[in-house]
């Protein structure tokens, strides 16, 4: 099932997601649907907030069409960040048509649970490090525009107002 992606202006995007206390069939189904929604939207990552579900769930795939690398993440926590930063042109499914260069730690160590309730720790680097930090921000009610300088946000003001007023995004 493909979910409707919530876009900028929807109050759910600024809310904190709750930890998942039990990994059951419902949680697994939500993650499957989130992955399907992310692929249908040509995204790299998707946090549950973006589909109106306030649970600490993320799906990501920074692979390629020929070599996909889907990952389902439950209750993620950043346990280490590099001092070195990378700059990536970030976009967001909740901000259609908006991209901006954002600086984030180049490498992060994330602890999370998988769908089998195993505790996993992974070092993410490059695009994957950027994507996981972007999605964890979503779970904490932080939007990528909050990571932009005030000048960049002012320059985007007209576009942000247009997005806010459109109220929905079509998934094809």
Element (DSSP H or E) covering residue 36: helix 25-40
Q: In the annotation, is 135 catalytic?
A: yes
Three-state secondary-structure class, residue 102 = strand
Query: Which DSSP string corresponds to 135-149?
Result: HHHHHTT--GGGGS-
Query: Which are the contacts of 87, defined by CB distance < 8 A and separation ≥ 6?
Result: 101, 102, 103
17 contact partners, CB below 8 Å, separation of at least 6: 47, 48, 49, 53, 54, 55, 56, 57, 138, 139, 140
Catalytic, out of 18, 135, 162, 170: 135
- Catalytic center residues: 135
């Amino acid at each position: 099932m493909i979910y409707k992606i919530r876009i900028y202006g929807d109050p759910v995007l600024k809310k904190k997601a709750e930890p998942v206390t039990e990994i059951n069939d419902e949680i697994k189904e939500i993650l499957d649907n989130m992955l399907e929604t992310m692929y249908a939207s040509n995204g790299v990552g998707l946090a549950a907030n973006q589909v109106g579900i306030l649970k600490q769930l993320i799906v990501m795939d920074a692979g390629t069409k020929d070599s996909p690398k889907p990952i389902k993440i439950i209750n993620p926590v950043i346990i280490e960040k590099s001092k070195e930063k990378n700059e990536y042109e970030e976009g967001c499914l909740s901000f259609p048509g908006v991209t901006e260069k954002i600086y984030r730690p180049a490498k992060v160590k994330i602890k999370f649970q998988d769908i089998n309730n195993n505790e996993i720790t992974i070092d993410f680097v490059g695009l994957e490090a950027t994507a996981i930090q972007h999605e964890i921000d979503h779970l904490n009610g932080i939007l990528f525009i909050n990571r932009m300088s005030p000048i960049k946000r002012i320059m985007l003001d007209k576009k942000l107002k247009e997005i806010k007023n459109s109220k929905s995004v079509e998934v094809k």
